[in-house]
Amino acid sequence: MNETLKNIFERYSCRDYADTPLSDEQVKYIIDAALAAPSAVNRQPWRITVVTNKAFIDEMDADGMNTLASDNDKSSYNRMMERGGKLFYNAPCMFVVTGDGSDWAMLDSGILCQNIVLAAQSLGLGSCMVGMFRIPLEGARGDEFKKRLMFKDGYSFTMSVIAGTILSGKEPHELDHEKVTYIK
């Protein structure tokens, strides 16, 4: 099996990170892989904000957890508490992706994020796509966070990916071939 397939099959959503920061070289490789992602008509309708300021990540995490705690439906809050009480699982690095609102921005951003998680895997790092990052962005401090993240006018959150050194791991999910239809 080649290295690309090995990385795809061994990757899982890591939810337990060591405090170890990513090196500048690791971040550069991940960003270069992200920017190599294909997009419709090569429009590249994305922007990426790399957050390695752990205090800022933790601040947004705490704000998001407070929002979940105050929600009438406690299911998401309870699930996060069972997983350690952090939205971002103590990750030392976050890649926040915004899109320009065009028809293909969400799909193209998803492809870009797939490149991020596969690049992280190839570097021996864990990663997890985190759509719940929208929670602090939609909360009372959302405009402040967007400003501090330097969101460009006309761009909105599409997805975020956290990455870092794996503290404890798990097995990748089982492949479900029942989800596939073949037409020959």
How many residues does the structure list for the chain?
Answer: 184
Q: pTM of the prediction?
A: 0.94
H/E stretch holding 158: strand 156-164
Q: What is the pLDDT of residues 59-99, one digit of tens each?
A: 999 999 999 988 888 888 899 999 888 999 999 999 999 99
Strands 156-164 and 126-129: what pairing? antiparallel
What would the pLDDT profile of 24-36 be if each residue is shown by its tens digit?
Answer: 999 999 999 999 9
Name the helix (H) or strand (E) containing 94: strand 93-99
Q: In what order do the strands lie in the sheet with 156-164?
A: 46-51, 93-99, 156-164, 126-129
How confident is the model over 116-170, as pLDDT tens digits?
A: 999 999 999 999 999 999 999 999 999 999 999 999 999 999 999 999 999 988 8
Q: Which two tokens stand for residue 46?
A: 């994305």
Choosing among 3.30.930.10, 3.40.50.2020, 3.40.109.10, 1.20.140.10, the CATH entry for 3-168 is 3.40.109.10
